[in-house]
Amino acid sequence: MNYASLDAFLAEGTAALAKGPVALILVEDLVEAESTIRHHLKAGFRSVLVFAPERLVLPEDLAAKIHRIPRDMHRPGALTETVNPVIAAAPADTWMYYCYNAEYLFHPFCETRSVQELLAFHTEERRRSMLTYVVDLYAPDLAQNPNAVNLRDAMLDRAGYYALARPDPATGHARERQLDFFGGLRWRFEEHIPVKRRKIDRIALFRTRPGLELRRDNTFNDEEYNTYSCPWHHNLTAAIASFRVAKALKFNPGSTYDIADFRWYNSVPFTWHSQQLMDLGLMEPGQWF
């Protein structure tokens, strides 16, 4: 279904939010928008909301399965100005997810278990959010793929990831069960990445509640939502395989001429399988065996 604007969706289309999980796909450009939508429909989201420029053309079969809302996702503040009104309009305790085009959600055992099963288990563990790691993908040949996107031959870094304690600005002490994670292209090409955008952690899966708001740094105004696990044991985490940083580094005139190749000695082919991400420590099955 198509809507004239976000306001129109909030007035007419909130039935799509009645039962989760709900996926919000934020389309910044036209690169792999269709494959992103198809991936998340296949993952098992009950509703998929696509915020996209009007110039995006989708096949009829795909357009019939989504709720499309015209939106400029490049303008400052577009993330929070898009996601927070949808959170406010949804019933409490609705699971939601957000990502950008050319990003693909993976969770433990996603080849045989749906995102609905994932979140049902996570709910039983009394968790209201799930940490996801944004894992950078990139094309191996930038001469052949100047936008750095190649799904068939995608590569990722097998090493170079690390975490630092997240300090509380009010006290200077480390926040409990919160870490800032780094790695991938944001780490290797950090001279081209603003300091505030170098983290690879994102709370991409969360349950709505009254007053909940997403902040511009991909964290929430409820600090418990920003934790990676509960106090008593390890919980599930997921990963988002993403070409977004690679695209930006090759699109930005300040970096494109400095980067002839994203590959290094720790580059390996991406198999598009959850087991590879678990083997590399890029997501955690927790107690979900």
Quick one: tokens of 129?
């959010």
Distance CA 70, CA 68 (A): 7
215-227 confidence digits (pLDDT tens): 999 999 999 999 9
Determine the pLDDT at residue 128.
97
183-198 confidence digits (pLDDT tens): 999 999 999 999 999 9
238-242, strands of its sheet edge to edge: 67-70, 47-52, 22-26, 95-100, 201-207, 129-136, 238-242, 103-106
Quick one: tokens of 124?
């039983």
Distance CA 51, CA 61 (A): 18
Q: What does pLDDT average to over the chain?
A: 96
Distance CA 200, CA 102 (A): 16
What is the 3-state composition of the chain as percent helix, strand, coil, each rounded to the nearest 5?
30, 25, 50
CA-closest candidate to residue 7, choices 79, 62, 80, 85: 85
Determine the pLDDT at residue 289.
79
143-184 confidence digits (pLDDT tens): 999 999 999 999 999 999 999 999 998 888 999 999 999 999
Distance CA 85, CA 229 (A): 27
Does the pTM surpass 0.85? The reply is yes
Our measurement of the distance from residue 138's CA atom to the centroid of its chain's CA atoms, rounded to an integer in Å, reads 16
Per-residue three-class SS string for the chain: CECCCHHHHHHHCHHHHCCCCEEEEECCCCCCHHHHHHHHHHHCCCEEEEEECCCCCCCHHHHCCCEEEECCCCCCCHHHHHHHHHHHHCCCCCEEEEEECCEEEECCCCCCCCHHHHHHHHHHCCCCEEEEEEEECECCCCCCCCCCCCCCCCEEECCCCEEEEEECCCCCCEEEEEEEEECHHHHHCHHHCCHHHCCCEEEEEEECCCCCCECCCCCECCHHHHCCCCCCCCCCCEEEEECHHHHHHHHCHHHHCCCCCCCCCCEEECCCCHHHHHHCCCCCCCCCC
Determine the pLDDT at residue 237.
97
Determine the pLDDT at residue 130.
97
Determine the pLDDT at residue 63.
96
Low-confidence ranges of the chain (pLDDT < 70): none
Quick one: tokens of 95?
């699971």
